[in-house]
């Protein structure tokens, strides 16, 4: 253990998802050498830990290989190293208001159906001494849309999405339109 009290260490069985969301984001930063591209983000809220503190798991900066936002099943990442360089995937646990990194990510995403995707996430390699060697989660995540600015349509087909302002495009289907995700 490094920075986290061993008695308070989070266990894999303590990570119990309650809800999840996902989205795609357009990003580029030539100063950091990040070429324009679409990135997938999965945010998982979990039951509070034994002290009542919030627990969240986030996988982000995952390269999206599809051309259409409807191609979520193309996200199939196996044992990818995280936090290697700017723009590489990041896998984080937020526990007791502290950020902890996991070093390796496996992520399999199913097709988009009824505004949701099924996702299987596996995390290994405790980078920051949380005391958690590995864990896996299966979640049903609500798709929130596509975020970005500039030439987003050069990176992804926006057909079936409508702009809700501020660089956010949401799916145009009734179940989504009537939800609180607008």
91-148: per-residue pLDDT in tens? 999 998 899 999 999 999 999 999 999 999 999 999 998 888 899 999 999 999 999 9
Question: Is the model's pLDDT at 72 over the cut of 50?
Answer: yes
By the 10 Å C-beta count (0-12 exposed, 13-18 middle, 19+ buried), 86 is classed as: exposed
Question: Is the model's pLDDT at 62 over the cut of 50?
Answer: yes
- Could you state, in order of their start, the residue ranges of all structural domains in the chain? 15-145
pLDDT of residue 149: 77
Those residues with Cβ within 8 angstroms of residue 142's Cβ, 6 or more apart along the chain or in another chain:
19, 20, 21, 22, 115, 116, 179, 181
Q: How many angstroms separate the CA atoms of 10 and 95, rounded?
A: 8
pTM beyond 0.75? yes
Mean pLDDT (the chain) is 87
């Amino acid at each position: 253990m490094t920075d986290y009290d061993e008695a308070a260490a989070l266990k894999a069985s303590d990570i119990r998802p309650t809800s999840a969301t996902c989205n795609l984001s357009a990003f580029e930063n030539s100063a950091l050498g990040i070429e324009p591209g679409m990135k997938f983000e999965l945010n998982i809220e979990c039951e509070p830990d034994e002290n009542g503190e919030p627990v969240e798991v986030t996988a982000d900066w995952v390269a999206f290989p599809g051309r259409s936002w409807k191609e979520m099943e193309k996200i199939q990442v196996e044992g990818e190293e995280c936090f290697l360089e700017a723009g590489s995937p990041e896998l984080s646990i937020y526990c007791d208001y502290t950020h902890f990194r996991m070093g390796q990510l496996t992520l399999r995403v199913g097709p988009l159906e009824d505004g949701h995707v099924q996702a299987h996430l596996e995390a290994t390699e405790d980078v920051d001494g949380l005391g958690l060697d590995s864990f896996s989660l299966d979640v049903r995540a609500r798709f929130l849309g596509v975020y970005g600015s500039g030439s987003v349509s050069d990176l992804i087909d926006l057909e079936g999405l409508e702009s809700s302002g501020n660089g956010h495009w949401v799916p145009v289907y009734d179940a989504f339109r009537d939800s609180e995700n607008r």
